[in-house]
C-alpha cells in the first residue's frame, strides 16, 4: 500500500483584514468592497516560499524519521531563486541527508499535484522509499487588484511512502491543456489575468470535470463515495459546479478557505487536502484536484492510521494561530509595493561569500551546532575547542541539532536604531534547554510582550536580502511561543 | 617572574582635542590638535619619539588602514608606528603598546594616539559594522544600544529588581555625567539634563532612551610615556605613573555557554581583579579616588560598578541613587562627563579617560578638580556584552 504517510501545513501568523485592503482602495475601485470579507494569510517580511515550505515540512515530519526521506520535491510558483535549487535550501534547513534527490517544481498552479503524482509513482515504482513533497507560494499582486484579496501566503507538505500510510493512493489522472487563465512572464512580478467568467466556464467548467470522472473510473470509486473534494479556485461556486458535473455530493466539496486564509497558490490544493486529512475518518475517499494548464486529479482512501498521523498544528492549528493585521501599509511594505524611505543604515549590503555559505551550510541552513565529546556540552556554533570553561577539550565535536530544541529568552531588547523592515528589531540571547545559547534575532513577536524567560521556537527565516545581487540570506530566528497562543 | 607594570612607566605629557561634531576638521586636524597639546606638555621635541601606536577602529570611514595616517600626519621620521584595533578598547590598546615599549627598555619615549572621525557617515549614531564574511550570515541584527540594552533585561531578571527602579538609576547615571560634563570645555555635550528629561527621552533600544546613550563625536587623544628617571631628568616633579594595565578578551564563554547569564561583563571582572593586584590595590571601594568607565550606555555604567568590585553584586542601583559616584561622592565616576558627554570617537576614548585621570592627579582639572586624588581607574570596553575586549588601567602618583 502506498500513499500519504504524514502531512503538515503552515500558514503565516499574520492575517490581513480584507476590509483594510478594500477601504484603502475603494476610492478608486468600489468593486473591491465586494471582496472585503474575512482575512488573508500574510507572510511576515522575513518569510518566503522556502521558509514557509520548511515550516510545513517540520509540521509534516514531526515524529517521523528524517533519515528515511529519500527525495524532496518543492512546488512553488514564487521560489526565491531562479537558478539555485530552492528544494536544496529546504532540505538543508530540515537537515535531511545529502544523499537524496531534490527537485524544484513550478511554472503552473498545478505544480503540487503534478509533483504529488510523480512522487507517488516513484514510490510505487520502488525508485525511492519516501518522498517529502512541500509546496509553498507567496505570490505578489499589484495593489488594489482583486487577487490581492483572493490570494494568501502559505504552505503544505506531504510525506509519501509505503506501508503504514494515513491515506492510501488509489490512482489519478492528468490532462494537459494550454488554457491560459493567467500567466506570469519570466522576470515579471505579477500575474496577467483573463476574464473571470471565461476562466470559470471554459476552463474549470470544461477541463476539470472529465478529469475527475476519469480518475474516479480508473480507481473504481463511485462519485457519491467521495467524502472530501479539494479543488482550489478563487471564484465562489466553481468547485461545487465541478463536483456536480462529476456526480460528487455537494457536502463533499471542501471550503476553499477564502475567508480565513486566501488561496495559497500552488500550495493550496495540498493545504485543502491537509485540512481534509485532519478531519477524515478511516475509509473515507479524498479527491484532490489541481488546475493550471490542464488538471491533475488524485484519489485517496483514509486508512485506520489517519487518526494517528495528526500533525502538531496542521491547517487547523495554523488557522487558530493567528494575529490580525489591519495595517495595509505594512502589507504593501512587506511586499515591496511602495517605495519607502529606509534610511542610510539600510544601505549596508555586504556580498554573500558563497564559499563561506557552503563551508558552513550545516550551521547556517540546519542550525547544526556541536556537542563536546568529553563534557557533552552543546554549543553553537560548533567549535574546535569546547566552549565550557571547565573543559576546553580539543577535537572534533559531534553534530548537535538545535532547531527543534526548546529554548527561552535570556535577555532581549527592542531596537529602533538598527535597520529592519519591521521596527523595532527584537533580538536577544536565546538559551536552549539542555545547554547552549546564542544571540539571535526574534520574529513573529508582539511588541510589548517579549520578556525574559519566555519560551521560543527556532524558525528558519530570511535574515536579509541583497537586492543588488539578488541574494536572499537565510538563518534561524527565535519566535515567542506565547505569542502563538494569542488571539 | 613577571613583576607587572606598576611605577615602571610615567606619563610625560598628554593632549586631548575638543570632542564633538567637528564638521570643520578631519582626522588629521584632530590628531594634530591632541598632539600639539601633548608634545608641549611633554616638553620634548617630536624627534625624540622613538615609537608610536595609533588606535582607530572604523577604518572604512575614518583614517583608513595601517599606521601611515599617523606617521604621515605628524611626520614621524620613519620610526616604528603601529596601528591597533580592538573595537572600542583600541585606545587602551595603543596606550598599552607605548607603555610596554618603554617598560621593556626598547625606547625612551613612546607615543600613543587614538583618533576617530565618526561624523562623516551622513546619519546619527554609530555606523553599522561590517565584520568579516561570516557574521553577516548569522549574527543577530544588533546595533550597539540594542546589544548593551540586553544587560538591563538580564540584570532586572537576575536580581528581581523592578525595571522602573533600574531605569531611574540609569537616568541618574546620565544626569550625573551631564552635570560633570557641563564643567568641561572639551566635552561635546556641556548641558545639564534632568532625570525627568532623561526618562522622557525617545526610546532607542528598550529600555535605553536617547539620553541613556553616549553621543557620537569626533575626537583624538594622545599620550607620551617615558621612564620615571627620564621624566625627572627633564625637570618633571609630580610624576603620574602607570600602576596597572590589563586587557581581558572574551573567549566565547559568554556568547555560547550557559554559565554567563547576560547581566555583567565577565571580562571587566577579571581585568579589574588583575589590575588591582598589579597596582597593589586591596579595596577598590576605599582606595580609588575616581573612575572613568566605559559609559557607552547608562546600563553599561550601572553593571560596571559591580564588575569593578566597587558596588557589591545587585547594589549598584542603591549606590547610584545614594550619590556614591557623584562628583562629591566617595568614588566620583565620569568626573569629566564620560562618554556620555564626550561622545565616543572610538579609538580616542580609552586615552581620553586616562587624560582626565592625568589632569586630576596633577591638579589641572579646573572647576572639576577633585581634592587630593591618589589613584584613578579607567575601564574601556569594546564589542558587546556577550563578546568583548575590556581594557583597564590604574593610574596614580608615582610611588603612591
For the segment A143-152, the average pLDDT, to the nearest whole number, is 96
Predicted local confidence at residue B132, as pLDDT:
87
| Residues pairing with A71 in the sheet | A101, A131
Which tens digits make up the pLDDT trace of B235-288?
Answer: 999 999 999 999 999 999 999 999 999 999 999 999 999 999 999 999 999 999
**Complex ipTM, two decimals?**
0.96
Tell how strand A378-379 and strand A455-466 pair up. Answer: unpaired
Which tens digits make up the pLDDT trace of A159-176?
Answer: 999 999 999 999 999 999
Q: Among the listed ranges A214-223, A445-454, B131-140, which one has the minimum average pLDDT value?
A: B131-140
Task: Looking at the structure, tell me whether residues B77 and B164 fall in a common domain.
Answer: no
* CB of B66 less than 8 A from some CB of A: no
Task: Classify residue B5: in a domain, yes or no.
Answer: no
Task: Classify residue B128: in a domain, yes or no.
Answer: no
Report whether A280 contacts A250 (CB < 8 A).
Answer: no
| DSSP for B81-104, written as a single string | EEEE-BTBTHHHHHHHHHHHHHHT
In whole angstroms, what separates CA A228 from the centre of its chain?
22
Predicted local confidence at residue B121, as pLDDT:
87
Instruction: Report whether pLDDT(A485) > 80.
Output: no
* A418/B142 Cβ within 8 A: yes
Predicted local confidence at residue A482, as pLDDT:
65
The yes or no reply on domain A2-334 and CATH 3.40.47.10 is yes
How far is residue B181's CA from residue B337's CA, in Å, rounded to a whole number?
4
Predicted local confidence at residue A460, as pLDDT:
98
Domain boundaries, chain A: 2-334, 405-484
Whole domain around residue B33: which residue ranges? 10-119+218-233
For the segment A145-170, the average pLDDT, to the nearest whole number, is 97
Closest Cβ opposite residue A427 in set B122, B125, B142: B142
Burial class (CB in 10 A: 0-12, 13-18, 19+), B101: buried
Among B233, B262, B279, the domain boundary falls at B233
Task: Looking at the structure, tell me whether residues B76 and B147 fall in a common domain.
Answer: no
Among B174, B203, B233, the domain boundary falls at B233
Report whether A333 contacts A421 (CB < 8 A).
Answer: yes
Task: Looking at the structure, tell me whether residues B330 and B370 fall in a common domain.
Answer: yes
What dihedral do alpha carbons A114, A115, A118, A123 form, nearest 10°?
-140
- Exactly one of B178, B294, B344, B386 is catalytic; name it: B344
- Exactly one of B88, B107, B213, B390 is catalytic; name it: B88
Predicted local confidence at residue A487, as pLDDT:
40
| 3-class state of residue B306 by DSSP | helix
For the segment A2-21, the average pLDDT, to the nearest whole number, is 98
Same fold, A2-334 and A405-484: no
Predicted local confidence at residue B192, as pLDDT:
97
Residues 381-410 of A with CB under 8 A from B: 381, 383, 387-389, 410
Residue B71 belongs to domain with CATH number: 3.40.47.10
When the pLDDT of each residue in chain B is averaged and rounded to a whole number, the result is: 96
Task: Classify residue B2: in a domain, yes or no.
Answer: no
* CB of A435 less than 8 A from some CB of B: yes
Predicted local confidence at residue B64, as pLDDT:
82
Strands of the sheet with A323-325, listed across from one edge: A39-42, A14-17, A323-325
Chain A positions touching B206 (Cβ under 8 A) are 413-415, 424
Which tens digits make up the pLDDT trace of A223-280?
Answer: 999 999 999 999 999 999 999 999 999 999 999 999 999 999 999 999 999 999 999 9
Structural domain count of chain B:
2
Burial class (CB in 10 A: 0-12, 13-18, 19+), B126: buried
When the pLDDT of each residue in chain A is averaged and rounded to a whole number, the result is: 96
Task: Classify residue B135: in a domain, yes or no.
Answer: no
Burial class (CB in 10 A: 0-12, 13-18, 19+), B349: buried
Task: Looking at the structure, tell me whether residues B34 and B178 fall in a common domain.
Answer: no
Predicted local confidence at residue A14, as pLDDT:
98
Task: Classify residue B30: in a domain, yes or no.
Answer: yes
Task: Classify residue B137: in a domain, yes or no.
Answer: no
Instruction: Report whether pLDDT(A413) > 50.
Output: yes
Residues of chain B with pLDDT under 70: 130
Chain B positions touching A420 (Cβ under 8 A) are 141
Mutate to test the interface with A, among B125, B127, B146 (most CBs of A within 10 A): B146
Active site residue B386: no
Task: Classify residue B125: in a domain, yes or no.
Answer: no
Which tens digits make up the pLDDT trace of A14-33?
Answer: 999 999 999 999 999 999 99
* CB of A376 less than 8 A from some CB of B: no
Task: Looking at the structure, tell me whether residues B276 and B172 fall in a common domain.
Answer: yes
* CB of B3 less than 8 A from some CB of A: no
Task: Looking at the structure, tell me whether residues B91 and B190 fall in a common domain.
Answer: no
* CB of B256 less than 8 A from some CB of A: yes
* A412/B143 Cβ within 8 A: no
Instruction: Report whether pLDDT(A76) > 60.
Output: yes
Report whether B10 contacts B226 (CB < 8 A).
Answer: yes
Task: Looking at the structure, tell me whether residues B286 and B159 fall in a common domain.
Answer: yes
Please tell me what DSSP assigns to residue B297: B
Task: Looking at the structure, tell me whether residues B226 and B308 fall in a common domain.
Answer: no
- A125: number of Cβ within 10 Å: 9
Task: Looking at the structure, tell me whether residues B109 and B222 fall in a common domain.
Answer: yes
Contacts of residue A473, defined as CB under 8 A and 6 or more positions apart, other chains included, come to: A352, A462, A463, A464, A465, A466, B136, B137
Task: Looking at the structure, tell me whether residues B153 and B262 fall in a common domain.
Answer: yes
Among B201, B233, B265, the domain boundary falls at B233
Task: Looking at the structure, tell me whether residues B250 and B226 fall in a common domain.
Answer: no
Second CATH level (architecture) for the domain A405-484:
Beta Barrel (2.40)
Which tens digits make up the pLDDT trace of A191-203?
Answer: 999 999 999 999 9
Task: Looking at the structure, tell me whether residues B379 and B359 fall in a common domain.
Answer: yes
Amino acid at each position: 500500500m502506498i500513499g500519504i504517510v504524514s502531512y503538515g501545513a503552515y500558514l503565516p501568523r499574520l492575517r490581513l483584514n480584507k476590509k483594510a485592503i478594500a477601504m484603502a482602495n475603494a476610492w478608486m475601485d468600489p468593486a473591491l468592497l465586494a471582496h472585503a470579507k474575512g482575512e488573508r494569510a500574510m507572510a511576515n517580511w522575513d518569510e518566503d516560499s522556502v521558509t514557509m515550505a520548511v515550516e510545513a515540512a517540520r509540521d509534516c515530519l514531526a515524529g517521523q524519521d528524517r533519515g528515511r526521506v529519500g527525495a524532496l520535491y518543492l512546488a512553488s510558483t514564487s521560489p526565491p531563486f531562479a537558478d539555485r535549487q530552492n528544494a536544496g535550501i529546504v532540505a538543508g534547513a530540515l537537515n535531511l541527508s545529502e544523499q537524496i534527490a531534490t527537485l524544484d517544481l513550478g511554472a503552473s498552479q498545478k505544480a503540487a499535484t503534478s509533483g504529488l503524482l510523480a512522487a507517488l509513482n516513484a514510490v510505487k515504482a520502488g525508485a525511492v522509499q519516501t518522498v517529502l513533497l512541500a509546496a509553498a507560494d507567496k505570490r505578489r499582486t499589484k495593489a488594489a487588484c482583486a487577487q490581492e484579496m483572493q490570494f494568501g501566503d502559505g504552505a503544505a507538505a506531504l510525506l509519501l511512502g509505503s506501508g503504514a500510510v494515513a491515506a492510501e493512493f488509489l490512482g489519478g489522472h492528468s490532462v494537459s491543456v494550454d488554457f491560459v487563465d493567467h500567466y506570469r512572464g519570466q522576470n515579471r512580478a505579477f500575474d496577467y489575468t483573463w476574464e473571470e467568467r471565461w476562466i470559470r466556464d471554459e476552463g474549470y467548467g470544461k477541463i476539470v470535470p472529465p478529469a475527475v470522472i476519469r480518475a474516479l473510473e480508473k480507481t473504481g470509486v463511485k462519485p457519491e463515495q467521495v467524502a472530501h473534494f479539494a479543488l482550489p479556485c478563487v471564484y465562489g461556486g466553481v468547485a461545487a459546479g465541478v463536483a456536480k458535473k462529476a456526480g460528487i455530493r455537494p457536502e463533499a466539496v471542501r471550503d476553499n478557505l477564502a475567508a480565513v486564509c486566501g488561496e495559497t497558490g500552488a500550495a493550496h490544493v495540498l493545504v485543502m487536502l491537509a485540512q481534509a486529512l485532519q478531519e477524515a475518518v478511516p475509509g473515507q475517499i479524498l479527491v484532490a484536484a489541481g488546475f493550471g494548464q490542464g488538471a491533475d486529479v488524485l484519489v485517496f482512501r483514509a486508512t485506520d492510521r489517519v487518526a494517528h498521523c495528526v500533525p502538531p498544528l496542521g491547517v487547523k492549528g495554523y488557522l487558530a494561530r493567528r494575529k490580525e493585521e489591519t495595517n495595509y501599509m505594512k502589507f504593501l511594505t512587506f511586499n515591496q509595493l511602495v517605495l519607502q524611505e529606509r534610511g542610510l543604515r539600510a544601505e549596508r549590503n555586504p556580498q554573500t561569500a558563497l564559499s563561506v555559505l557552503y563551508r558552513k551550510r550545516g550551521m547556517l541552513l540546519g542550525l547544526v551546532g556541536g556537542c563536546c565529546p568529553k563534557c557533552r556540552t552543546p554549543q553553537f556554533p560548533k567549535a574546535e575547542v569546547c566552549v565550557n570553561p571547565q573543559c576546553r577539550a580539543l577535537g572534533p565535536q559531534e553534530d548537535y541539532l538545535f532547531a527543534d530544541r526548546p529554548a527561552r529568552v535570556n535577555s532581549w531588547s527592542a531596537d529602533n536604531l538598527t535597520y529592519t523592515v519591521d521596527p523595532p528589531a527584537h533580538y536577544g540571547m536565546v538559551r536552549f534547554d539542555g545547554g547552549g545559547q546564542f544571540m539571535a534575532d526574534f520574529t513573529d513577536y508582539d511588541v510589548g510582550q517579549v520578556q525574559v524567560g519566555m519560551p521560543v521556537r527556532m524558525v528558519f527565516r530570511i535574515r536579509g536580502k541583497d537586492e543588488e545581487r539578488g541574494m536572499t540570506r537565510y538563518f534561524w530566528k527565535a519566535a515567542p511561543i506565547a505569542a502563538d497562543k494569542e488571539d | 617572574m613577571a613583576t607587572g607594570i606598576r611605577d615602571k612607566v610615567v606619563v610625560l605629557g598628554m593632549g586631548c582635542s575638543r570632542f564633538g561634531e567637528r564638521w570643520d576638521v578631519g582626522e588629521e586636524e584632530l590628531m594634530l590638535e591632541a598632539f600639539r597639546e601633548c608634545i608641549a606638555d611633554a616638553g620634548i621635541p617630536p624627534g625624540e619619539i622613538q615609537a608610536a601606536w595609533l588606535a582607530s577602529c572604523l577604518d572604512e570611514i575614518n583614517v583608513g588602514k595601517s599606521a601611515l595616517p599617523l606617521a604621515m600626519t605628524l611626520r614621524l621620521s620613519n620610526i616604528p608606528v603601529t596601528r591597533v584595533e580592538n573595537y572600542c578598547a583600541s585606545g587602551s590598546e595603543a596606550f598599552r603598546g607605548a607603555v610596554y615599549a618603554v617598560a621593556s627598555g626598547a625606547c625612551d619615549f613612546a607615543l600613543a594616539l587614538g583618533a576617530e572621525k565618526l561624523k562623516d557617515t551622513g546619519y546619527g549614531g554609530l555606523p553599522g559594522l561590517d565584520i568579516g564574511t561570516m557574521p553577516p550570515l548569522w549574527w543577530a541584527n544588533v546595533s550597539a544600544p540594542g546589544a548593551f540594552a540586553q544587560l538591563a533585561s538580564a540584570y532586572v531578571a537576575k536580581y528581581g529588581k523592578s525595571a522602573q527602579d533600574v531605569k531611574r538609576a540609569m537616568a541618574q547615571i546620565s544626569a550625573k555625567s551631564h552635570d560633570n560634563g557641563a564643567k568641561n570645555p572639551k566635552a561635546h555635550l556641556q548641558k545639564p539634563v534632568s532625570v525627568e528629561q532623561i526618562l522622557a527621552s525617545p526610546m532607542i533600544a528598550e529600555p535605553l532612551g536617547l539620553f541613556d546613550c553616549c553621543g557620537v563625536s569626533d575626537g583624538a587623544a594622545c599620550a607620551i610615556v617615558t621612564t620615571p628617571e627620564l621624566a625627572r631628568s627633564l625637570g618633571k616633579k609630580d610624576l603620574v605613573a602607570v600602576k596597572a594595565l590589563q586587557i581581558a578578551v572574551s573567549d566565547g564563554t559568554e556568547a555560547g555557554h550557559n554559565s554567563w547569564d547576560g547581566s555583567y561583563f565577565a571580562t571587566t571582572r577579571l581585568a579589574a581583579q588583575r589590575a588591582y593586584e598589579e597596582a597593589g590595590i586591596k579595596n577598590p571601594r576605599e582606595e580609588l579616588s575616581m573612575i572613568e568607565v566605559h559609559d557607552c550606555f547608562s546600563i553599561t555604567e550601572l553593571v560596571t560598578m559591580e564588575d569593578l568590585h566597587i558596588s557589591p553584586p545587585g547594589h549598584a542601583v542603591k549606590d547610584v541613587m545614594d550619590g556614591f559616584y557623584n562628583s562629591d561622592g566617595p568614588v566620583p565616576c565620569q568626573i569629566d562627563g564620560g562618554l556620555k558627554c564626550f561622545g565616543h570617537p572610538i579609538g580616542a576614548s580609552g586615552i581620553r579617560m586616562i587624560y582626565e585621570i592625568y589632569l586630576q592627579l596633577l591638579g589641572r582639572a579646573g572647576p572639576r578638580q577633585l581634592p587630593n586624588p591618589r589613584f584613578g581607574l579607567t575601564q574601556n570596553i569594546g564589542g558587546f556584552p556577550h563578546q568583548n575586549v575590556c581594557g583597564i588601567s590604574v593610574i596614580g602618583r608615582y610611588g603612591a
